[in-house]
């Protein structure tokens, strides 16, 4: 029988003492950082059933929390990832033990691993290749010009092969050091695979009955020269194309959140935020729920995927994505985070990320396509987004 350890705030055991992240879930944000040990229950049930309802999933989750508490886990959490298509199997689990810490401490502990070599890259393959991706964009623009939809998000992959096994602990250390202000995640999957990354986008955070979200839509590449960089940011803020793309996202999210919110604050003008590679347009949406017991995962599931990841209208955009993208997104473009049995939690969008197998890395990046989009510019934008992860390998 597996011994269950209560989940509580305990002295942080150094990652170096554990040897590696291995099967441990890691999540960091400005508010909460978690590191788990052990697995009480792995959950693969889809978030949505065939009718698009979360009821069956939430009932199952309540029962699993009850069983975890009965087994001695004091404050159980569910952690992990939800795929882009919420009807597909989840990659979640209830850990045996959770350490609450802060990301500065985690970053310090992982910093010693940054000097360790990551497996040598022996090959790269863009999927689809540039001509194919640019045709996808052209086809999407044509569909919008025919009045079929207003926006669609198209993505591409970059596959890296390696000579040796990839050390996810070393890679995570570099990602955190290079992107200190992002949300960081390391999710152990089955078959020795790992999903990790540094997302800039908060899908939903809930504490008691208060929630917030900060969607990103509209981006521009940062510049080395300070004045040039500032000018690029101001140009993005004034861009009619990018402001239109952003507003589609905000309007759709506000429409979804209004029925579950007692109060909802939606700023009329977006703000500029930066990552190490990009400027983004962002809007911080805040609200108070009607019912405090409605959990963070349920609220995030109502929003997911936002038009920042699918398009608008959502169903038409998803249909076009299936027609144009030559691969299933699976966990890419999904959401990753945690939720406790009191309903608190934090979920971010699964972007600026990679999925690792022992000797292969798959990177993911997408771009919002609107009628004014240019195929070459969208290819370049996805390349800039891929550079967040490529930099961790020393390739950009």
Catalytic residues: 151, 201
Q: Residue 364's beta-bridge partner residues? A: 157, 353
For helices 130-145 and 314-324, angle between their N-to-C axes, nearest 10 degrees = 150
Give the alpha-carbon dihedral of 85, 89, 91, 96, to 10 degrees: 140
Paired strand residues for 78: 339
Tokens 């886990």, located at residue: 73
Q: Please state whether 127 falls in left (phi above 0), alpha (psi between -120 and 50) or beta.
A: beta
Residue 53 CB neighbours (<10 A):
11
Report the alpha-carbon distance of residue 324 to residue 155 in Å, rounded: 10
Cα–Cα distances (Å) from 290 to 29, 106, 257, 259, 296, in that order, read 26, 36, 11, 9, 13
Q: Which tokens sit at 153?
A: 């998000």
Contact 327, 335 (CB under 8 A): no
Residue 78 CB partners (closer than 8 Å, separation 6+): 43, 61, 64, 65, 92, 93, 94, 297, 338, 339
**Cα–Cα distance measured from residue 393 to residue 396, given in angstroms and rounded to the nearest whole number:** 8
Identify the residue whose tokens are 């989750």: 61
- Comparing C-alpha atoms, which of 95, 98, 93 is closest to residue 42? 93
Q: What is the DSSP pairing of strand 278-282 with strand 216-221?
A: antiparallel
Token reading at 112: 């010693």
Q: Which two tokens stand for residue 384?
A: 């800039």
Strand 26-28 vs strand 183-188: parallel, antiparallel, or unpaired?
Answer: antiparallel
Do residues 191 and 215 touch, judged by C-beta distance below 8 A? no
Write down the residue that tokens 């967040």 correspond to: 388
């Amino acid at each position: 029988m597996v011994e269950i350890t209560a989940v509580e705030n305990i002295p942080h055991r150094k990652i170096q003492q554990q040897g590696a992240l291995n099967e441990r879930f890691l999540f960091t944000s400005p508010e909460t950082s978690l590191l788990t040990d052990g697995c009480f229950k792995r959950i693969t049930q889809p978030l949505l059933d065939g009718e698009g309802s979360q009821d069956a999933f939430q009932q199952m989750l309540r029962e699993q929390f009850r069983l975890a508490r009965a087994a001695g886990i004091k404050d159980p959490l569910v952690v992990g990832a939800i795929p882009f298509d919420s009807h597909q199997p989840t990659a979640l689990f209830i850990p045996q033990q959770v350490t609450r810490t802060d990301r500065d401490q985690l970053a310090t502990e992982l910093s010693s691993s940054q000097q360790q070599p990551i497996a040598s890259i022996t090959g790269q393959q863009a999927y689809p290749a540039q001509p194919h991706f640019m045709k996808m964009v052209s086809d999407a623009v044509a569909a919008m010009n025919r009045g079929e939809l207003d926006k669609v998000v198209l993505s591409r992959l970059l596959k890296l092969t390696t000579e040796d096994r990839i050390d996810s602990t070393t890679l995570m250390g570099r990602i955190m050091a290079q992107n200190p202000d992002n949300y960081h995640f390391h999710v152990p999957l089955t078959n020795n695979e790992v999903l990790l990354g540094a997302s800039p986008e908060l899908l939903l955070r809930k504490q008691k009955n208060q929630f917030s979200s900060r969607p990103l839509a509209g981006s521009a590449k940062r510049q080395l020269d300070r004045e040039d960089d500032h000018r690029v940011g101001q140009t993005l803020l004034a861009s009619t194309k990018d402001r239109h793309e952003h507003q589609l996202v905000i309007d759709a999210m506000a429409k979804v959140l209004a029925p579950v919110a007692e109060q909802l604050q939606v700023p009329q003008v977006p703000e500029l935020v930066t990552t190490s590679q990009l400027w983004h347009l962002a809007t911080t949406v805040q609200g108070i729920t009607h019912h405090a017991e409605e959990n963070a995962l349920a609220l995030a599931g109502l929003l997911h995927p936002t038009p920042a990841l699918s398009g608008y209208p959502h169903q038409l955009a998803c249909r076009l994505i299936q027609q144009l993208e030559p691969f299933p997104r699976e966990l890419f473009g999904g959401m990753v985070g945690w939720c406790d049995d009191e309903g608190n939690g934090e979920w971010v969008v699964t972007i600026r990320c990679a999925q690792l197998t022992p000797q292969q890395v798959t990177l993911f990046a997408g771009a919002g396509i609107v009628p004014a989009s240019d195929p070459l510019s969208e290819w370049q934008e996805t390349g800039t987004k891929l550079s967040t992860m490529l930099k961790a390998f020393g390739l950009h």
